[in-house]
Amino acid sequence: MVTFVLALALLVALGVLIAFVVGYNRLRAADIRVDEALGGIDVQLTRRAALVPALVSTVSAVAQHEQAIVDRVTAARAALASATTGASVVQRSAAEQQLNIALAQLLELGAGHPQLNSSNNFLHLQRTLADTEDKLAFARQYYNDAVATLNRTLGTIPWMLVAGSAGVTERDYYRSEP
């Protein structure tokens, strides 16, 4: 009888240990997926930011009297570059929004000049920027899907019991204005 109780206690302890390890690994894997997805957003933001100097240069050559818009784009690009080096998702999103506004003004300015609309360089930069925006939208969606999976997992039993030990907490969604 004592042997049976001891064996049963050992099996229960082993089951709890296995459940803890499985839960820990599942939560850590979901947390890592979120970090990887955020890295994908950063790659696309960096790609877009790398296009800005060429776009600014192209527009500046034609619209020299609009230095304020060029300066706003340059400042917004610098703020976004700073935000992608460890800032929170909310800060990244805010910096991206500022760049979006500044780029829209710059592209609007460029569209008002016939010389730019016929420039192959300007048209190529616009196409590349549009392609990057599409990739960025996909990266944001992938990130938000990974966050949804992680947050949903953290809110369910038995995973919520392991979350503290795994050091995994809920993550913020990436919000971006269209």
Question: pLDDT band at 141, cuts 50/70/90?
Answer: very high
> Could you count the other beta carbons within 10 Å of the beta carbon of residue 114?
9
**For range 5-26, the mean pLDDT:** 87
Question: pLDDT band at 65, cuts 50/70/90?
Answer: low
Q: Assess if residue 149 is contained within a domain.
A: yes
Tens-digit pLDDT profile for residues 111-140: 777 776 667 787 888 889 889 989 999 999
Does 63 have pLDDT greater than 70?
Answer: no
Q: What total number of domains does the chain contain?
A: 1
pTM higher than the cut 0.85: no
Query: What percent of the chain shows pLDDT beyond 90?
Result: 17
CATH number at residue 73: 1.20.1440.20
Which pLDDT belongs to residue 140?
Answer: 92
Q: Assess if residue 144 is contained within a domain.
A: yes
Q: Assess if residue 2 is contained within a domain.
A: no
Q: Assess if residue 7 is contained within a domain.
A: no
**For range 68-82, the mean pLDDT:** 82
Q: Assess if residue 114 is contained within a domain.
A: yes
Write the CB contacts of 47 (distance below 8 Å, at least 6 apart in sequence).
Answer: 132, 135
Q: Packing angle between helix 67-83 and helix 89-111, nearest 10 degrees?
A: 160
Question: pLDDT band at 144, cuts 50/70/90?
Answer: very high
Q: Which domain holds residue 141?
A: 16-166
**53 preceded by a cis bond (ω within 30 of 0):** no
Q: Assess if residue 50 is contained within a domain.
A: yes
Does 41 have pLDDT greater than 60?
Answer: yes
Query: What percent of the chain shows pLDDT beyond 70?
Result: 93
**For range 69-93, the mean pLDDT:** 81
DSSP string, 49-97: HHHHHHHHHHHHHH-TT-HHHHHHHHHHHHHHHHHTTT--HHHHHHHHH
**How far apart (Å, rounded) are the C-alpha atoms in residues 178 and 172?**
18
Q: Assess if residue 132 is contained within a domain.
A: yes
Which pLDDT belongs to residue 175?
Answer: 83
Does 19 have pLDDT greater than 80?
Answer: yes
Q: Assess if residue 109 is contained within a domain.
A: yes
